Amino acid sequence: MAQLPISNQETPPARSSFKWQATDLVWIAGLILLLIGAWGMWQRVAYGLFPTSLNSYVPWGLWVGFYDYLVWLEVGSLLVFTTLVYLVGFKALNRLKPIVLFTGLVILFAALLIVLLDLGRPLRFWHVYIYPDFGSMITWMVWLHTLYLVVLLAELLLVMGWLSVAEGPKERILKGLAYLSLPMGLALIIVSGSVFGVVTARPLWNTSSLPLMFLISSLAAGSGLLALLAVLFWPDKKAAEYRQVVGRLARLTAWLLLGGAFAASIIGLTFLYQGSPARAEALMLMLTGPFWWSFWIVHILLGVVVPILILFNQPDKPAWVGVAATLSVITFVAVTLNVVIPVLATPELEGLALSYVDPKMRYDYVPNTAEWLLVTFIAGLGALLYGLGLRWLPVKPKA
């Protein structure tokens, strides 16, 4: 029986199908941030709130500020996207829906994690579901955020095709969920602002304009994030439609930033004119205190003035729009930190700061290394999940 000739050449080893992508830098950066922030996470788990600068007078600080910042990005981007696609009829933007929903979901996860770790006893978070007090704005915020998470997750699963639904009913369900998310998102932002607005002991917070300011700021931050996602993930960057979408988002973001700055100026001047000492003192601490630069340089200059100039003058240049959107998105955290910290760092009564001296009863709050490391850890975890999702999930827009 004849035998087949045996080749002298060895069979080449199988090549790996793994190919590096530009988005892999996201999860790599996430791993690095996780390692940097791991010590802060360990201190929080092992020692509770003791290693932080939070105290009896300033119980909310860096973490609550970052929570509100993430809520603004998450809800604001989805509100702007849903309004443009389903109410305005800007259908070209619809191809970004998977990445917008996925981005919002990752940001929502980071927001819920950071506010959970801010609790004195985080393992008791379930009490708000079993023993709710609907007279509390925090109860409403937790319930609304949970329902919003369910709606967002359902939308994302449908868009990715992970729920078996026929095309016709699927589009109707997606449209229904999108319309449902609008009032839920509006309510969540307003309630988030009302958590501060109902605190009568803090005059700068205790105003009906604060929830409205939260809404305007959320829309401005969310619009900037949406413009950035369009610049980064639009599949065909040579198409005329790409420049049209980016230009429209650029102008919208610029007008929202301008409107927010104008509204904040009017409210601030009104607070100072009314002559309420406690309100004026907290506001002046924000404007002229030790961290004045976070308001005037980080937010006003880099987050408002520079992006507005770029977005109004270069809306047809996506690269410049991306720079402006990045500046706007990153620097918006200065707003929430200035909403939270200066008000709590202002004594309610004259002489209260000197009536009793103790390390945990101080008004000169400054976030310490442990607090920043925990924020770094959560940012790393979010970046890791986001980068892995970009690689393995069908969320990138298709050409």
Q: What is the pLDDT of residues 324-338, one digit of tens each?
A: 999 999 999 999 999
Of 347, 191, 204, 336, which Cα lies nearest the Cα of 270? 204
Q: Is residue 32 part of a domain?
A: no
pLDDT band for position 74 (cuts 50, 70, 90): very high
Instruction: Give the span between the Cα atoms of 254 and 235, in whole angstroms.
Output: 24
Of 2, 13, 23, which Cα lies nearest the Cα of 229? 23
Tokens for 243, please give them.
């420049």
Tokens for 22, please give them.
């530009």
How many domains does one find in the chain? 1
Structural domain of residue 294, as residue ranges?
A: 53-367
Residue 8: pLDDT over 60: no
| Span 161-175, average pLDDT | 89
Question: Which of the pair, 44 or 356, is modelled with greater confidence?
Answer: 44
Q: Is residue 396 part of a domain?
A: no
| Span 135-154, average pLDDT | 94
Instruction: Give the span between the Cα atoms of 320 and 60, in whole angstroms.
Output: 36
Q: Is residue 43 part of a domain?
A: no
Q: Quick one: residue 275, left, alpha or beta (phi over 0 = left, psi -120 to 50 = alpha)? A: left
Q: What is the rounded average pLDDT for all residues in the chain?
A: 90
Question: Which of the pair, 56 or 85, is modelled with greater confidence?
Answer: 85
| Span 93-120, average pLDDT | 95
Q: Is residue 216 part of a domain?
A: yes
DSSP assignment letter at 237 = T
Instruction: Give the span between the Cα atoms of 181 and 151, in whole angstroms.
Output: 7
Q: What pLDDT, on the 0 to 100 scale, is given for residue 289?
A: 87
Q: What pLDDT, on the 0 to 100 scale, is given for residue 284?
A: 87
Q: What pLDDT, on the 0 to 100 scale, is given for residue 344?
A: 87
Instruction: Give the span between the Cα atoms of 287 and 159, in whole angstroms.
Output: 45
Q: What pLDDT, on the 0 to 100 scale, is given for residue 1?
A: 47
Q: How far is CA 398 from CA 94, 95, 216, 273, in A?
A: 11, 7, 32, 54
pTM of the model: 0.92
Residue 16: pLDDT over 60: no
pLDDT band for position 17 (cuts 50, 70, 90): low
Q: Is residue 383 part of a domain?
A: no
Task: Assign 358 to helix, strand or coil.
Answer: strand
Q: Which residues of 316-333 are buried (b: 16+ CB within 10 A; e: fewer)?
A: ebbebbbbbbbbbbebbb
Q: What pLDDT, on the 0 to 100 scale, is given for residue 193?
A: 93
| Span 60-77, average pLDDT | 95
Residue 12: pLDDT over 80: no
What are φ and ψ of residue 14, in 5° steps?
A: -65, 135
Spatial neighbors of 45 by CB under 8 A, at least 6 apart, are none
Tokens for 51, please give them.
């290693």
DSSP string computed for 366-387: ---HHHHHHHHHHHHHHHHHHH
Contact present, 368 and 53 (Cβ < 8 Å) = yes
Q: Is residue 16 part of a domain?
A: no
Q: What pLDDT, on the 0 to 100 scale, is given for residue 168?
A: 87
pLDDT tens digits, one per residue of 181-218:
999 999 999 999 999 988 887 888 888 888 989 999 99
Paired residues of 361 in beta bridges: 358
Q: Is residue 34 part of a domain?
A: no
Contact present, 377 and 34 (Cβ < 8 Å) = yes
Amino acid letter for position 77? S
What are φ and ψ of residue 322, in 5° steps?
A: -60, -40
Task: Assign 26 to helix, strand or coil.
Answer: helix
Query: pLDDT over 70 for what percent of the chain?
Result: 93
CATH code of residue 304: 1.20.1630.10
Q: What pLDDT, on the 0 to 100 scale, is given for residue 15?
A: 52
pLDDT tens digits, one per residue of 265-314:
888 888 777 666 777 888 888 899 888 999 999 999 999 999 999 999 99
Q: Is residue 255 part of a domain?
A: yes
